[in-house]
């Protein structure tokens, strides 16, 4: 199981480069202190368009929390935190924690398509079976899903589809997403959960 710490926010007008530089600095500190993988991405389509996010991946909660504790003491992180406090570059920010629910997110892939469902925890076993069937429809893509551990919306489930490019994502949408088999699985999913958000982000 992987654990993910995600931080991010939408850059203020004219402050994109500053926000990106700060996030890259934090990513470097996270990696130095023990993160398995870091991924800086920008949402380009759908919910949260324009948002910058940094994801740091860990192999356990212990690793995630231990690293976070060390990061908070790092001089470079403290300097960036001071800059953020005194001169914000994003309109909204925050840090959340997620864990794997199905598969593992490939944070090295260029493009992620995220579909967010609101779902009761009692329905998660049924959703697992649906995700397995979606994942088995084609070898041309990989599906993973995460659920929140520390986040504002604890009844969310985020499904992540992995692609090499936007063209690749569009091809799979045509060849798989429009099939009766996929649409039937979407209908089954909507019986136990509500699709509330969708977006595409690209690795920077």
Domains of the chain, with CATH numbers?
3-99 (3.30.70.100), 101-203 (3.30.70.100)
* CB-count burial class (<10 Å; 0-12, 13-18, 19+) for 149: middle
For residue 176, what are the CA distances in angstroms to 129, 160, 170, 185? Answer: 18, 15, 10, 12
Q: How far apart are the first and last CA of the chain?
A: 25
Rounded distance, CA 136 to CA 139, Å?
A: 7
What per-residue confidence (pLDDT) applies to 92? 76
Tens digit of each residue's pLDDT (9 = 90 or more) over 96-122: 999 999 999 999 999 999 999 999 999
Question: Which of helix, strand or coil describes residue 43?
Answer: strand
Q: How many CB atoms lie within 10 A of CB 120?
A: 10
Positions of the chain with pLDDT under 50: none
Asked if 201 and 116 touch (Cβ cutoff 8 Å), the reply is: no
Strand partners, 180: none
Asked if 196 and 118 touch (Cβ cutoff 8 Å), the reply is: yes
């Amino acid at each position: 199981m992987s654990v993910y710490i995600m931080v991010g926010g939408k850059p203020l007008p004219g402050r994109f480069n500053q926000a990106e530089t700060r996030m890259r600095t934090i990513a470097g500190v996270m990696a130095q202190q023990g993160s398995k993988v870091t991924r800086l991405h920008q949402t380009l389509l759908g919910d949260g368009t324009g948002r910058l996010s940094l994801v740091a991946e860990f192999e356990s909660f212990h690793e995630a929390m231990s690293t976070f504790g060390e990061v908070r003491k790092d001089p470079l992180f403290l300097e960036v935190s001071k800059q953020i406090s005194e001169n914000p570059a994003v309109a909204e920010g925050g840090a959340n924690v997620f864990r794997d629910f199905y598969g593992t997110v490939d944070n090295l892939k260029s493009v992620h398509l995220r579909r967010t469902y609101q779902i009761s925890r009692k329905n998660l076993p049924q959703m697992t079976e649906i995700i397995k069937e979606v994942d088995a429809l084609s070898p041309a893509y990989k599906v993973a899903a995460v659920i929140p551990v520390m986040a504002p919306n604890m009844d969310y489930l985020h499904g992540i589809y992995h692609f090499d490019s936007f063209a690749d994502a569009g091809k799979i949408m045509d060849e798989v997403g429009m099939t009766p088999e996929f649409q039937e699985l979407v209908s089954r999913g909507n019986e136990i959960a509500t699709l509330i958000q969708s977006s595409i982000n690209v690795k920077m």
